[in-house]
A and B are shown apart, each in its own frame.
Chain A
Amino acid sequence: MEWFRIKTSTLLMRVAVDEIVYVKADGNYCDLVLINGRCRRMTFQLHHFEDNFKLLKSANMFIRVGRSLIVNRQYVQIIDLIDQTITFGGKHLSRELRADKPYAHRPDRNEEVSTGRDIYVVKVSRDALKLLKEQLENMKGGETL
């Protein structure tokens, strides 16, 4: 298993790469969402993640989707071009927050926060979704969703 040890001026974080569901850009920052349903706002830009994902042995696990999103393809469950959403799922994801389960958690105000079920449903532009869909369709069996 591979791990990221991420150091900033105020943070040291160690995270298993397998546990990253997606990373979403938000201006100069990005939000790191993990399989346990926790979201961590990182005080640097998304491309730092992208650069380092490429260095991993499992680099092809992560796919850039549009300008503001990098997803872990093993957790991509639904690509919906009509709603323009990606729904993340899978047995490893926090059961309470999965989109197919009733809303169970309320966000708290800790530094590292739990969020609602919407965290596993992300809005993406139609073009980016189309590209992702094609990429995943062209992958070999066992590598796709």
Chain B
Amino acid sequence: MSDFFEKTDKNLLGDPNREPEIPEFIIEDDDDAQPPIKTDSPEKAGKKWLRRVLKALAMALMVVVVFFAYKAWDYYYNIGVPVSTTPSENIKKLQMEPVKESAEVILSSDSILGVALDFYAIHGLRASIEFQEPDTADMSVFLYCRSADHQADGQYLGSLVVDGEERQSDRSRLGYMGMVGNQMVIGISRSDKVKDYCAENGGSFFRQFILVSNGVIPHRFFLHGKVERRAIGRKDNTLYYIATRHKETLWDFADALREYGFIDAIYITGGDDYGYYRTADGERHDIGNIADYPHKKWKGIIPWLVFRRI
């Protein structure tokens, strides 16, 4: 060590013959600045543990809340497709006065992506759900079709509210149509806000499969096979009843609707069931085969979506 200091002495001290100096020592004591050490009494120690337990419980509670919040978000909002109109926006629409226009259904036809489609534009009509199939002589009815599905035992699939009375509550189908007074909307949501609003205000509501939501089709469909397909779709602010002329797969049908520019569209059951529509002059035009009228099966069970003159 002495060798080492002899070597470093010059570096450290400069002149080795330098006289020693008189240093100034100042003693600092951390304890002077610190508060006296506290020793916990048994009571305080108990409270300390209680605080720790409460903290742990709060953390656990927070984790549980976050978990359920995520599950709720995933269930209600993460539905696999974007949504164009929220339930709250649709409720506002239902509260507005409808645009005054003459009652009529305008038919147009087109073929897109190899799918031949008939579009029935709905103007100046109000919608309701009825269990009696409209009479062909009823001049107030401008269009009617099926709405919600039902099982063989008559139990409805998806929510169904008729004139304020809830017949079924089931969120498994995310597309919906709500109607109150002279207003009607379609939308995509798992939320029951619109259904509740319709029920509270004496309106009607049903749920069906999504075909198009905000211009996007779902990544998969659960119905397969080729049959005639029906839908209710919204393009801008006009609702359309849409029917295929030929048998189509659900995917082809939905893709054609998307391609045609529908923002939202929901499936309508019924296939090639008979229905009719009226033009502005009140003349009736058949949709499907008149020989199938009236329906003999499921009388009083089928919820008919009926569009009448306001």
Which residues of A pack against B, CB within 8 Å?
1-9, 14, 26, 28-29, 31, 39, 41-45, 48, 51-52, 55-57, 107, 109, 111, 113, 115-116, 118-119
A1 to chain B, nearest CB (A): 5
Over the window 1-21 of chain B, the binary record of Cβ atoms lying under 8 Å from chain A Cβ atoms (1 yes, 0 no) is 110110011011100001111
Task: Let me know if B5 and A48 touch, CB within 8 A.
Answer: no
Residues of A with C-beta under 8 A to B22: 44, 48
B209 to chain A, nearest CB (A): 72
Residues of A with C-beta under 8 A to B12: 41, 111
Q: Which of the residues B1, B18, B28 comes within 8 Å of A2, measured between beta carbons?
A: B28
Kindly state the separation between the CA atoms of A109 and B7 in the bound complex, as whole angstroms: 9
Residues of B with C-beta under 8 A to A2: 27-31
A103 to chain B, nearest CB (A): 13
Given contacts A7-B23, A42-B23, contact A115 B31 (CB under 8 A): no
* Given A6-B26, A119-B1, 20 new contacts (CB under 8 A): A1-B30, A1-B31, A2-B30, A2-B31, A3-B28, A5-B28, A8-B23, A8-B24, A26-B5, A28-B20, A31-B5, A41-B8, A43-B18, A43-B20, A44-B20, A45-B20, A48-B25, A55-B25, A115-B1, A116-B4
Task: Let me know if A56 and B23 touch, CB within 8 A.
Answer: no
Closest B residue to A29 using CB positions: B20
Given contacts A29-B13, A48-B23, contact A115 B4 (CB under 8 A): yes
Task: Let me know if A4 and B4 touch, CB within 8 A.
Answer: no
Residues of A with C-beta under 8 A to B11: 109, 111
Kindly state the separation between the CA atoms of A21 and B8 in the bound complex, as whole angstroms: 21
A2 to chain B, nearest CB (A): 5
